Structure 1
Amino acid sequence: MKSSRLLSILLLLQTRGRMTAARLAEELEVSVRTIYRDVEALHAAGVPLYADAGHSGGYRLLDGYRTRLTGLNQGEAEALFLSGLPGPAAELGLGPALTAAQLKLRAALPPELRAQADRLRSRFHLDAPGWYAEHDDLRHLPQVADAVWRGRVLDVRYRRWKEPTDVDRRLEPYGLVLKSGRWYLVAGPGPRTYRVDQILRLTVREETFEPPGDFDLAGHWQRYQADFHARLHRAEATVRVAPGAVHRLTGTAARALAETGVPEPDGWIRAVLPIESVDHAHGRFLALGADIEVLGPPELRSRLAETIGTLATRYTTAQPTGDGITRAPRGRTTGLRDRP
């Protein structure tokens, strides 16, 4: 464990430059005292590691010092191969680069790890998008990614969901996020979030920019998702769900059922579920058929009762056929009483 931590300290200083003991301790999730002991061990091993005093001080390696680390273990080698997603890399225009990098990594591995990595690639394939996801128009993605990397301002024609739908925007692209097989651009001013497949036209300016010094893409995306879900489910519905239909609820509804569900004497579960709107919940709950009863709000219950009544009438009324003969629904005879 200690040897792994010493290598981690070397890699951190090699890639990031000067770092304080407190920062190293935070990165490695150990105490500052442990970092002091590790630095002494590195000194004793002859590593040219120096400490700078003062407000902007910290530990650093002698300029030009590079450590050659060839000791990848099996798990690390497998993780590197598993992390290479060919689909997203190709969409970004990095497919050939990813293939070349994996070939070089494979050639550098010892035979036993090479065999394990090959076995992993033959057994696991990652395909993030859902089955029914439509293929997005990503013709502008490579240009967007290049602008993110080089800090170039974009002029875009963007299609949004509300009127006016097509708008012109000047964007400072901070970063790209791949979520459930769909690419999103986080860009200033704001920042705000844009779907890459909704960019209709794009021009890269010569103008450059610098993202805010305190901007953290992962942290921003986490807050954005939390805010999105908070705005998405602004209402609630009280329902009764049949035991056999519990597994048909997913996402937020499934979590709410687990947290608020109370079993009733007949085996059904009474719960309060978050909903986006009456219109959205109307369609979602109809899909559960007779396995759910909506108790409130009254507007939603009335809408469902009206729809179910219309369906009942439609499917119990004789319908004309193409040959001009009116046929009753199966099991019924037109104009006659039901048989026992």
Structure 2
Amino acid sequence: MTASNDRHELPEPHDLHDLEAQAARPRRQYGHDAHIVCDNLVRIYQTEGVEVQALQGLDLLVDRGDLVAVVGASGSGKSTLLNILSGLDTPTAGGARVAGCDLLAMKAKDRLRYRREVVGFVWQQTGRNLFSHLDALDNVMLPMSYAGTRGAAAERKAGELLDLLGVGHARDRRPAGLSGGEQQRVAIAVALANTPDVLFADEPTGELDSATAHQVFEALRTANRELGVTVVVVTHDADVAGQVRRTVAIRDGKTSSETVRAVAVDEDGAERHVAEEYVMLDRAGRMQLPREYVERLQMRDRVRVALDEDHVSVWPAADAGNDGDAGDEREAREPVPAE
């Protein structure tokens, strides 16, 4: 990469009085109007004396009514994130809020109510979603009974949910008599039984063929569109990730990139779907460069950056590949101006 002559000098630091005045000003809470907020979220596990950092300062905002896919390689931290947001796990540090609930401040009783009334959850394994001895209707009615809704009212609501998700015909069948796709759609109805604000789904199509996976995803889309519930789906399925407006990628325990999809209208009035990928910049100014960029330019250890007129340039340090002690002083090299 080459650098331009039109570079700006960084501004002079403020004096102590300015810094104190700035610190004294009230600051708006991060993500104050978002439905889901992850603020520098950290989760560290201890496994047989080994420390595993599943989340390393992750930031994420999701608006009310959004349908968002979270993608990433195995071990990237996406399932850990979902477990924390659903109240099944607690973070080591940072902040997490869902529908106004502070997940770090919850006591055991609050956490139980949160999982019962505020969020719904769909597992990849159908055996974790449904009771094998209950039919579809009774499976949906069961969480309602814990929340105090029983009898005809519960039966009516459960039937409406099954109809909405396209499995009303299977209301009297037990899980063994349902196909894999039907089981997952009934599981979504169970998760929606108590009218949650947010629905989380962990690899809901992971054990299904593409046609059946499409049906399950359409059920999630229907819940989002018809009921207004915010939906967050963790998935490896590229087809599912490509059908949502917003896809967030996690790498090494942090949000690394985000793809936003929209419908654009050209000069002739024809509609076309467009997708644009962004690298995520956290509040500390950190970002993860795409892995293929780093490998192609052989970036390692440290890089050089410069502020141009309307963008920031990044290129490999001339001595980044040299052997030797990283603490040794090296000669500073100025970037070569573009011709």
Using structure 2 for the length normalisation, give the TM-score. 0.22
Which of these two proteins has the greater Rg computed from alpha carbons? Answer: 1
Q: Which is richer in helix? A: 1
Using structure 1 for the length normalisation, give the TM-score. 0.22
